[in-house]
Amino acid sequence: MYEGSISVIKIRNVLLVTVPPDPDDELINQLQERVLQILDQSKAKGVIMDISTVDILDSFFAHTLVETAKMIALMGGRTIISGMNPSVAVTATQLGLTFGDIDTELDVDSALDRMEASED
């Protein structure tokens, strides 16, 4: 993975998406398209968006994440956001960003557990 790339890998029945620390708008738009396309091809049950490496989450990025989660839901999948770092959480809250009803987890591990539990 080179700097500035999105990675999407399939673990069990789930797609794990990781993004670079400071993605530009174009990359964020690509992320949406790629995730939906790979979800369709791979027949995964859900998507974990791991943002533990992200150190800036502005309204555009947040808006695209929420939108992507809605699209994933329309396709029949579920989305969990994992790993938001404390500074990003503080800033997002004060900025007034809303994440709808997307589930969140501390890290990828607990996100995978939650995905698995919801399959039973």
- Return the SS3 of 17: strand
Cβ proximity to other proteins: between 57 and 115 the closer is 57
Check residue 90 for interaction with other proteins (CB under 8 A): yes
Check residue 112 for interaction with other proteins (CB under 8 A): no
Could you tell me the smallest distance in angstroms from the CB atom of residue 62 to other proteins?
7
Check residue 119 for interaction with other proteins (CB under 8 A): no
Check residue 58 for interaction with other proteins (CB under 8 A): yes
Of the candidates 20, 11, 27, 103, the one whose C-alpha atom is nearest the C-alpha of residue 66 is: 103
What string marks each residue from 14 to 33 as x (binds other proteins by CB under 8 A) or -?
A: --------x-xxx-------
Cβ proximity to other proteins: between 17 and 66 the closer is 66
Give yes or no for a contact between 72 and 38, defined as CB atoms under 8 angstroms apart. Answer: no
* Helix, strand, coil distribution of the chain in percent, nearest 5: 45, 20, 35
Give yes or no for a contact between 53 and 87, defined as CB atoms under 8 angstroms apart. Answer: no
